[in-house]
Amino acid sequence: MSDRQPASRVTTTGSALDRATDLEPTTRVPSNAAGIDLALERNHAFAAAGGHERAVVFPNMRLFVITCLDPRVDPAHFLGLGLSDAMVVRNVGGRVTQEVINDVAFIGQLAENMLPDGPLFEVAVIHHTQCGTGALADDTFRRKYAERIDADESALREHAVLDPAATVARDVELLRSARAISPRVTVSGHVYDVATGLVQTILPARRS
């Protein structure tokens, strides 16, 4: 993660739906091969090389990352994380939902049993530019999606990440104000720019 910088607005150009639906793959898997087959080949090489050895349950960096499931936004790459360095939760947009709050609270309670005093870990919420959730700002797309999953359309509009600096600040506040999360957990907010590969700190870490 970068050193703290002024919390400038990080935005993107073009319509939200255009950005969100630009899904043409740059690397094609042969039509007669499933993507999981290639992944399993890599798994066999990983196991044969002993890549799983010395892995630990509690993260070495005492870091819990919340970010988007977009394949461009893999924290193992843009944060240089190795196995057991951090806990990672990824969902659509990297948004803080009630389920995410529950996950952080769960890990916090486990950590309290291991560490009787002092800080437990830092939660880093990372939103990104060109996020596909921008499609939820499109009325037609949002209405069809709400019907598909039987959800409240107005709530889905709030899920769109159009200004990642603003949305990450809101999500950090949700975590900091959540009563279920230990006050020994710190929370920070960041924006990853997929065009430059750089992470900008919007809100530095502090306790809930």
Task: Give the DSSP per-residue string, 171-191.
Answer: HHHHHHT-TTS-TT-EEEEEE
pLDDT of residue 204: 98
Condensed to tens digits (0 to 9), the pLDDT of residues 33-83 reads: 679 999 999 999 999 999 999 999 999 999 999 999 999 999 999 999 999
pLDDT band per the 50, 70, 90 thresholds, residue 21? low
Least confident of 1-15, 122-136, 151-165, 181-195: 1-15
What DSSP element (H or E) covers 206? Answer: strand 199-207
Q: State the Rg of the chain over Cα.
A: 18
pLDDT of residue 207: 78
pLDDT of residue 98: 97
pLDDT of residue 20: 63
pLDDT band per the 50, 70, 90 thresholds, residue 5? very low
